[in-house]
Amino acid sequence: MKNLGFFLIPIFFYSCQQKGIRNDSVHTRDTIVSQKEREENKQIDDTIFMNFKDAKGLYLAEGQLDSIHPRVFIKFKNENLGELNGKIILATDNGNIRFNQIIFPDNSSDGPFGKDLQIQLTQKGNHIIIVGHSQMADNPYWGKFKVQLENSKE
């Protein structure tokens, strides 16, 4: 009996020191608010993939030329035959930058062009436009620029 008393007394003190079980409720919202990712064409290394059009049907992207990437390749898929109009927009109006070349799906090419591009597209498929500075002029442009492409159907 003494052994049972020595056994029950520590259990009694131990159980009295334990705190009661608490239920803490956490209120959460029923709806989860998530931000919609904005679809935009971004430069990855030296390439801009034109996958998304804006509300006006234009391909818009921001690129950057630097000493590591003196040329930027703009890749887009042409589904419609028609005229391609392109424009390079700079923060300052003067800069030695231009559309150097366009490479068609059959690997033929055309160019050079200026800051504005206007060409008839006669092939469907993946096109590549090369943007860089003019080798014939001094002071190559280094910095950010914007490219706008519009493909108008025939």
| Residue at 45 is within a domain | no
DSSP designation for 13: H
| Residue at 50 is within a domain | no
| Residue at 94 is within a domain | yes
Sheet with 47-50: list strands edge to edge: 43-44, 47-50, 71-78, 125-132, 98-103, 109-110
Q: Is pLDDT at 42 greater than 70 in this prediction? A: yes
> Which CATH number fits the domain that encloses residue 71?
2.60.120.380
| Residue at 20 is within a domain | no
Tally the domains of the chain.
Answer: 1
Residue 70 is part of which domain span?
58-153
Q: Which residue type occupies 27?
A: H
Contact 143, 72 (CB under 8 A): no
| Residue at 46 is within a domain | no
| Residue at 124 is within a domain | yes
Joined together, the tokens standing for residue 69 give 């990437």
What span, in angstroms and rounded, lies between the C-alpha atoms of 111 and 130?
9
What span, in angstroms and rounded, lies between the C-alpha atoms of 48 and 62?
8
| Residue at 101 is within a domain | yes
Look at residue 12 in the predicted model and tell me its pLDDT: 65
pTM, two decimals, is 0.72
What span, in angstroms and rounded, lies between the C-alpha atoms of 131 and 69?
11
| Residue at 67 is within a domain | yes
75-126 residue pLDDT tens: 999 888 999 999 999 988 788 899 999 999 999 999 899 999 999 999 999 9
What span, in angstroms and rounded, lies between the C-alpha atoms of 57 and 12?
78
Work out the mean pLDDT of the chain and round it to a whole number: 84
DSSP, collapsed to helix, strand or coil, labels residue 143 as: strand
